Amino acid sequence: MTAPQAPTDDELLRRLAAGDEDAFTALFRRWQGPIFRFGLRMSGAPAVAEDVTQEVFMALITGAGRYDPGRGSLPSYLFGIARNQVLRRIEKERPYVPMLEGEEEPLGALGAADVLEELERSERVLRVREAVLSLPPHYREVVVLSDLQLLSYQETAAALGCAVGTVRSRLHRARALLLLKLADPEAPSAGAEARAGGRP
């Protein structure tokens, strides 16, 4: 006996357009996490991420019929709305203060080597996060969507409303900027190379 298949996004959207609350709940539970984390990674502020999530799903409630599957997947559509909301807030609340506290995982009962490794990992995460948050928004959004939300180039392009080639070139440039900002002892030549204009 096979387990019943979960309804597709398109099916849930059709039901939502008719006011089906269960369909909305299913869509919300499916996509709230990715949308919230997108807002969080773009802004560094949980309050902004929550506002953005609320706006995205309110847009779905008030305009479920506006989504056109022919123009991209539902996640691309939702990330597109989220992106506009985040950019609006970044613009309005600049300069914002990224909230990074309280997110470190407890080290627990680890061995000395593990602790060192864990500390290095945590430190790198912090530095990478700060570097990403300091990128200009049009570079930041491609890194967040492609490298953190793991959207394909096509999905990222659909969310941003630009060509796939634009996504690739922005990602390339964004990562070169990140390496430059990080200029880590572990990646010295990468930073030097970027500074010397060795990266496209």
Partner 1 sequence: MSCQALAGPILDLARGALLPASRAEVLEHVESCAACRERLRAERWLSEGLRDWAAADADREPAPALEARLRSALRARHRRAVRPRRTAPAWAWPIAAAAAGLALWSAFPKQAGRVAAPRVEEAAFRPLFSGDLEDVDGYQVVRVELSRSALAGLGFATGEDFGARAVSADVIVGQDGVARGIRLVR
Name residues contacting partner 1, limited to 105-134 (CB under 8 A): 105, 121, 124-125, 127-129, 132
Angle (deg, nearest 10), helices 46-62 and 21-43: 140
Cα(191)–Cα(154) distance, integer angstroms: 29
Kindly state whether residue 187 participates in binding partner 1, applying the rule CB under 8 A: yes
Q: Which of 14, 30, 138, 172 binds partner 1 (CB under 8 A)?
A: 172
Q: Which is nearer to partner 1, 69 or 198 (CB)?
A: 198
Kindly state whether residue 156 participates in binding partner 1, applying the rule CB under 8 A: no
Cα(156)–Cα(176) distance, integer angstroms: 19
Least distance (Å) between residue 50 CB and partner 1: 5
Question: Given its phi and psi angles, is residue 199 left (phi above 0), alpha (psi -120 to 50 degrees) or beta?
Answer: beta
Angle (deg, nearest 10), helices 9-17 and 74-93: 70
Least distance (Å) between residue 127 CB and partner 1: 7
Residue with tokens 């939300």: 149
CA distances from 37 to 45, 59, 170 (A): 10, 18, 21
Residues ≥6 apart with Cβ < 8 Å to 132: 41, 140, 143, 144, 178
Name residues contacting partner 1, limited to 20-79 (CB under 8 A): 21, 24-25, 28-29, 32-33, 36-37, 40-41, 46, 49-50, 53-54, 57-58, 61-62
Cα(89)–Cα(83) distance, integer angstroms: 10
Q: Which is nearer to partner 1, 10 or 117 (CB)?
A: 117
Kindly state whether residue 142 participates in binding partner 1, applying the rule CB under 8 A: no
Least distance (Å) between residue 15 CB and partner 1: 12
Q: How many CB atoms lie within 10 A of CB 52?
A: 26
Q: How many residues bind partner 1 (CB under 8 A)?
A: 53
DSSP 162: S
Q: Return residues touching partner 1 (CB under 8 A).
A: 16, 19, 21, 24-25, 28-29, 32-33, 36-37, 40-41, 46, 49-50, 53-54, 57-58, 61-62, 103, 105, 121, 124-125, 127-129, 132, 143, 146-148, 150, 168, 171-172, 175, 178-179, 182, 184, 186-187, 189-191, 193, 198-200
